[in-house]
Amino acid sequence: MQPVRSTVCGLLAIVAALVGTSAQADKRAQLSQNDLSIPGWQEVQMRVDLDPGHIAANHRHPGEEIIYVVEGTIEYDLEGKPPVTLKQGDVLFVPKGVVHSAKNVGKTNAAEIGTYVVPKGQPLLEWVK
């Protein structure tokens, strides 16, 4: 019963983090969550839609994120690097703990698929001021 309770608590923490602060205008849908062959690690995959002009403010993850842009044009700002603008079909790797933000710089909806490789039991993201 303990693993189920830990998973439920972890999911609730993820939802609370995603609904909080500037993510309120994001539309997020969890696509998958699976344990990995590495003990204590999991993958979580999310679709994130951003309205035109919307910014997903500075945040970081406890593991790696692989971003695939599904539609639109998104500008990513990763700590220590110049901003990069990606369009449909482009991919971006965000290392563990790197503070980053995303902004829809187009005039239509923008969407990404974020695949996270993260430790189990930790919040998926942390907002950073």
- Please give the model's pTM, rounded to 2 decimal places: 0.79
Give the torsion through C-alpha atoms of 74, 69, 90, 41, to 10 deg. 110
Q: Per CATH, which fold does 2-127 belong to?
A: Jelly Rolls (2.60.120)
Please report, in tens digits, the pLDDT of each residue of the chain (129 residues total): 555 445 444 544 444 444 333 444 579 999 999 999 999 999 999 999 999 999 999 999 999 999 999 999 999 999 999 999 999 999 999 999 999 999 999 999 999 999 999 999 999 999 998
Count other Cβ atoms within 10 Å, centred on residue 55: 16
- Rounded CA-CA distance 20/17 in Å is 5
- Domains in the chain: boundaries: 2-127
